[in-house]
A and B are shown apart, each in its own frame.
Chain A
Amino acid sequence: MFEVLESRMIVPNMHQLVFDAPAVAKAAQPGQFIIVRAEEDGERIPLSLSDWDAERGTVTAIVMNAGNTTSKIAALETGSRVPTVVGPLGNASEIDKFGSVVCLCGCYGIGSIYPVARALKAKGNTVYTIIEGRSSYLLYWEDKLRAVSDGIAHITRDGTIGFKGHVSRLGEVMASFNDRIDRVVINGCTLLMKRGSDETRSMGIKTIANLNPIMIDGTGMCGVCRVTVGKTTKFACVDGPDFDAHEVDWEELFQRRKSYVPEEARPLRTSRSEKHKCRSMKAGA
């Protein structure tokens, strides 16, 4: 059993959880994830590592309440226990001296990109962070991100902060940094990652996305996390989750993520959950 040391909603529908998991904390690296079960007989779901403290033995995840299991995780109280926190799984993000790197994030990815940005900065890169969301009141961790970024920008659909509109404005936002960008890293909902990579493809900038297909074991055993990257099938949990975004078959990823939508609706009809509002999630992301 793993103790929940902290559980709180940080912005509407987005929950910050800190678990006591010393072995995971000791081995954690940016870009990796954990698998959590909220209760016995519960589903195993992957959550990115948004932060960790090897000394205290804790790991932090940002959870978007999106459905059956995430609503149970969101409802966990500080001091409660969960049966499974396993990891760190997946490969660490590639951290090297690339030059100037843009970290584009939205949804839970605002949290999960933080350790990536921190590591890129520590490696000597110039780091620009772009936070995307529906409205300013849904954004979080601005201070943490600012502390590891050379520049920060926002895109909100309602224009309450930063650029108004969609990721389609990525080009203009990046231009506002007045720098030549060598690499883009995107974390968050599938739609954000796809649209973001569509933009950077035409700019010819190498782009890495942290993919989020359905998973069960997270160790290469079940194959449900198959994604097509550059025409070959990869298991996102062991070959990724970071991949070259321009090589990913996004349509297939959208489709595969919808595999269990009819079934997952069943328990939701009987158990109440906060209705999630992120539009990209509705599109199956």
Chain B
Amino acid sequence: MADKKKKKKALDLDRRGMPKQPVDVRIRNFDEVALGYTEQLAIEEAKRCLVCKKPKCVKNCPVEIDIGAFMNVVAEGDFAAGVRILKEKNLLPAVCGRVCPQEDQCEMECALVKKKGELAIGRVERFLADWEATQDEIEVPEIPPSTGRRVAVVGGGPAGLTVAGDLIRQGHGVTIFEALHEMGGVLIYGIPEFRLPKRIVKREINYLARLGVEMITDFVIGKTRTIDSLLEEFDAVFIGSGAGLPWFMDIPGENLNGVYSANEYLTRMNLMKGYKFPDSGTPITNHKRVAVIGGGNVAMDCARTALRLGADTHIIYRRSTEELPARLEEIENAEEEGVVFQLLTLPLRYIGDERGWVKEIECLRMELGEPDASGRRRPIPIEGSETIMPFDAVICAIGNSPNPLIAQTTPGLRIGRKGNIETDDETGKTSKDRVWAGGDVATGAATVILAMGAGRKAARSIHDYLSSLPPPKSSAMG
């Protein structure tokens, strides 16, 4: 982190800091860590924006929010106007303001970056969205008369929600089918409460319900019904089923008790509310020393969750600080909270006790060699550096790929090498007639805003297609 942090420190000049729960308090609760800007802080920060003529920030936001325009109105204290500008482009600003990797997106090339510290765009965005939630009446846009066309959306994550929101506002009927018992995808089952409170996600989902989106949970496409069967009933289908299949490393001892996938660990905690057990039904074991394998957002979320359950928690990552793929803010938070980073370390095998529970990890130390295909320096094992460390739990957070259920049951759908559904970059069209896809299922595990961007493009293309059709015979018009 040292390097990532140094870069950050030098830049964090005028930027208004984010109020947070004090470290010693927050490591004992699951409440949100970042408390959000006050009106005062938001106005001060917005005033720093230069409202550039050719803004790099807008170009680097995957959904091209008109950032200068909303900063302008926030600077004047007109929050309602700010919300309208945000919502034109972003259906889930309260979510994106919290979880976008802003340092790699909108804030990366902000004109202020060099001299004064880039504008805290995400924080102002979050402030606006949260401000709106405190208002009595959330504005619901007028929905045009029904076109009589119906679209099925598979998966209630950010991609699916965006498609649903965009199409319902064009007057099309939309039904979302979600495999789990709650809508929201990774926003509900993956990202923890202390980073993204579930009530915020639920608020956005309720908003869609108010717009008239029909949501059917506990319905697995590929099992309960196939895509082909949906096509008999709906004019178009969008697949936004995410990348939910967890990877393991295929090393000895991985099936010992106490070895989890990140998905299992986070699902038990978030979706099933394991931290409330036995008031909730699903148990989670309180471990003493937890190793989290990986260095992305998922790994940080697991580590900070385990820490809050009282474990001495270590991140084990095979590359160095610079390559940690997680958001900077989360790396910093994890470090502050006391997560130990064991970098340049590779697990070789898990060793179990006589009852079949993991008790130790054998690791190998690494050093950095020449850059590999990804441009990052390749970690090379240091011979003879094997060490054995005691741990009573391991959470494997090394990645996910798309779940094959839909691919296996949908003839005519072209699937890429990594199990992803192949789509046209511009339209989200798949190889199958009347079927679109987008988000993690097409790209592999990526980000919330990219999934939403893909949803937006697909919605546009679906709308074009539906508009090209003759009026439906059933005449459900108006």
List residues of A whose CB falls within 8 A of some B CB. 23-24, 27, 37-39, 41-44, 68-69, 83-89, 216-217, 219-224, 226, 228, 233, 238, 252, 255-256, 258-260, 262-264, 266-267, 270
Tell whether, in the assembled complex, residue A86 and residue B219 are in contact, meaning their CB atoms are under 8 Å apart: yes
The A interface, classified by DSSP as helix, strand, loop or mixed, is mixed
- Residue B272, interface by CB 8 Å: yes
Q: For B119, list chain A residues within 8 Å (CB).
A: none
24 examples of A-B residue contacts, CB within 8 angstroms: A38-B281, A41-B273, A42-B281, A68-B281, A84-B181, A85-B218, A86-B220, A86-B224, A89-B220, A89-B223, A216-B282, A217-B180, A219-B220, A220-B244, A222-B264, A223-B263, A224-B260, A228-B255, A256-B356, A258-B257, A263-B283, A266-B277, A266-B278, A270-B278
Tell whether, in the assembled complex, residue A27 and residue B225 are in contact, meaning their CB atoms are under 8 Å apart: yes
Task: Name A23's contact: one of B224, B261, B281, B283 (CB within 8 Å).
Answer: B224
Taken residue by residue from 274 to 288, chain B's Cβ proximity to chain A (1 for < 8 Å, 0 otherwise) reads as 001111111111000
Tell whether, in the assembled complex, residue A263 and residue B285 are in contact, meaning their CB atoms are under 8 Å apart: yes
The number of chain B residues touching the other chain, given as a range, is 35 or more
Tell whether, in the assembled complex, residue B255 and residue A226 are in contact, meaning their CB atoms are under 8 Å apart: yes
Nearest Cβ distance between residue A59 and chain B, in whole angstroms?
Answer: 12
Task: Name A259's contact: one of B181, B219, B257, B280 (CB within 8 Å).
Answer: B257
Task: Name A87's contact: one of B223, B261, B280, B283 (CB within 8 Å).
Answer: B223
Tell whether, in the assembled complex, residue B246 and residue A223 are in contact, meaning their CB atoms are under 8 Å apart: yes
- Residue B6, interface by CB 8 Å: no
Closest residue of chain B to A235 (Cβ to Cβ) is B245
Nearest Cβ distance between residue A42 and chain B, in whole angstroms?
Answer: 4
- Residue B268, interface by CB 8 Å: yes
Task: Give A223 to B397 CA distance when docked, in angstroms.
Answer: 12
Task: Give A114 to B278 CA distance when docked, in angstroms.
Answer: 35
Tell whether, in the assembled complex, residue B272 and residue A220 are in contact, meaning their CB atoms are under 8 Å apart: no
Task: Name B179's contact: one of A24, A219, A262, A267 (CB within 8 Å).
Answer: A219
Closest 10 CB pairs of A and B: A43-B281, A255-B356, A263-B283, A86-B218, A222-B264, A223-B261, A267-B278, A42-B281, A221-B244, A41-B280
Task: Give A58 to B260 CA distance when docked, in angstroms.
Answer: 35
Tell whether, in the assembled complex, residue B248 and residue A223 are in contact, meaning their CB atoms are under 8 Å apart: yes
Tell whether, in the assembled complex, residue B404 and residue A220 are in contact, meaning their CB atoms are under 8 Å apart: yes
- Residue B345, interface by CB 8 Å: no
Tell whether, in the assembled complex, residue A216 and residue B267 are in contact, meaning their CB atoms are under 8 Å apart: yes
* In the complex with contacts A23-B225, A255-B257, A263-B277, A43-B218 CB distance below 8 A: no
* In the complex with contacts A263-B277, A270-B278, A256-B255 CB distance below 8 A: yes
